[in-house]
Each structure stands twice: as structure tokens, then as C-alpha cells.
Amino acid sequence: MPLVRIDIKKHQDPTHAKRIGQLIYAAMHSAIGVPENDNFQILAEHDEQHFIFDPQYLGINRSDKLVVIQITLSEGRTVEQKKLLYKTIAESLNAELAVRLEDVFINLVEVKKENWSFGNGIAQYAL
């Protein structure tokens, strides 16, 4: 059960953030086996005063088209699966929406399964 947060600078196309989310879900489905319909996303667009980043940290030249993606998911994926996920997301955003590879920033947050409640006040994954 991933929870995906996508942050971008305000875009002229009102469907841009949603399209990014669709591509990220497809990448998670193919790269790390996220189940069908397991799609929970928070999409946020910011003005330039509320979207701060270093344009050259680690020698990567970022533009104001930066896409910040934070994925919270249950622990257990291998390093290889994570690398495939990063690559799949970046390449699909580049191919479908012309987002530069340098402008794809991804952060995974892994949590134990008992840290989820999908509703009804129940920890559905707790053993």
C-alpha cells in the first residue's frame, strides 16, 4: 500500500499533476508489483515562494520543472527493485511528459506493515 505525494510548481495544464500520478502508479505496478487499484496519491502544486530546492545539489542541474515524489510503502523491497522503480518512474515521466531526468526527485519512506490503517480504525496488515 503505497501513499504517494507529488509536489510540483504550479503548471499551466490543470491535468499535469494527475498525469504524473498516473505514470507513477503504472511504474510502481510494473517495477515493484503494487496491486491493481492500490492507488492513493496527494497531488500538490505550489507557487515559487512555496517550492524551494537547490538547483545544483550533488551536481545535478535541476530546473523549475522539478517533480518531487515521496512514496511511503511497506518495507521489504530489495535495492534492485528500488533502483528499477526510480529508473522506471524517471524514464516514463521523460518519455510521456518531457520531464527531464534531472528533474525527477524521489524519496522512499519504508514503514512496518502495522503502521497502516486503511479505514475503520483497524490496522488491517497487523499480525
**For 18-71, how does the pLDDT look when each residue is reduced to its tens digit (9 = 90+)?**
999 999 999 999 999 999 999 999 999 999 999 999 999 999 999 999 999 999
Kindly list the catalytic residues. 2
Q: Helix 16-32 crosses helix 79-97 at what angle (to 10 degrees)?
A: 150
pLDDT above 90: residue 4: yes
Asked if residues 34 and 25 have their Cβ atoms less than 8 Å apart, the reply is: yes
Q: Say if residue 127's pLDDT is above 80.
A: no
**Residue 6: per-residue pLDDT:** 98
Q: Looking at residue 30, what is its pLDDT?
A: 95
Q: pLDDT by residue (tens digit) across 58-116?
A: 999 999 999 999 999 999 999 999 999 999 999 999 999 999 999 999 999 999 988 88
Confirm whether pTM is higher than 0.95. no
**13: pLDDT confidence band, cut at 50, 70 and 90?**
very high
